[in-house]
Amino acid sequence: MYSMIDMNTNNKIVVIAGPSGAGKNSVLEGVLRNCNECARLVTATTRKPRDGETDGVDYHFISKNDFLSGIENGDIPEYWHAKDTDRYYGTYLPDLREKFRQGKVVIAQVQAEGIRYFKDNFHTIAICITPDSPKELMHRIKSRHPMTEQELSERMALIEKEMREFQEVCDYTVRNPDGKLDMTIEKVIEILQNEGFVT
């Protein structure tokens, strides 16, 4: 299923993980801005593009049938299914191979099962981004989406579950306090330098 280039130990993957509201997207974008040798893994999804999104840049937007075919033929070796919307999201190996061909360190954002897949198959470091405190996370979530106390309680319980799952499979945990994004990005880059992933 995997070509020799996939298993080459010179090919490196960095996973930036974390629960909703932790700021992982901002951290990932900051790492990409500061590391020319890095490139983002563009994953596949069955959802429709939103305004301003570009196929092959934000996601590889494909049909459900093509996604399921990708699972069968090995092009999508790990995936996540959002049951409430019936949308699929998954690692797209053709994109990964192309980034490796370019000699890039690949920055990925996946669920916990995706991290396990990468660690089983590639030279991978996984970094979990967390807020400074549960109170800070609660404030971020409430500011994004107004919700009832019960909805907030349910969301926080789900996030706590995600946090446990991520921290079980991640190699590092980096706190991302409000107003300290640049410092968080610097910490992540320092980890990558110490691990020999970037110069």
pLDDT at 3: 43
Considering only CA atoms, which of 76, 71, 74 is closest in space to residue 59? Answer: 76
How large a percentage of the chain has pLDDT more than 70?
Answer: 94
The distance in angstroms from the start CA to the end CA of the chain is: 32
Question: pLDDT at residue 92 above 90?
Answer: yes
Give the tens place of pLDDT for each residue, 44-56. 999 999 999 999 9
Q: How confident is the model at residue 8 (pLDDT cuts 50, 70, 90)?
A: low
Residue ranges of the domains in the chain?
7-41+105-191, 42-90
CATH architecture observed for domain 7-41+105-191: 3-Layer(aba) Sandwich (3.40)
Question: pLDDT at residue 77 above 60?
Answer: yes
Q: Which of the 8 DSSP states describes residue 178? A: T
Q: Report the relative pairing of strands 87-90 and 44-45 from DSSP bridges.
A: antiparallel
- Neighbouring residues of 194: CB distance < 8 A, sequence distance ≥ 6: none
42-90 classified as CATH 3.30.63.10:
yes
* CB of 92 closer than 8 Å to CB of 46: no
pLDDT at 1: 39
How far is residue 195 from each of residues 13, 103, 129, 161, 166, measured CA to CA in Å?
12, 17, 18, 28, 20
Give the tens place of pLDDT for each residue, 117-156. 999 999 999 999 988 776 777 777 767 767 788 877 777 7
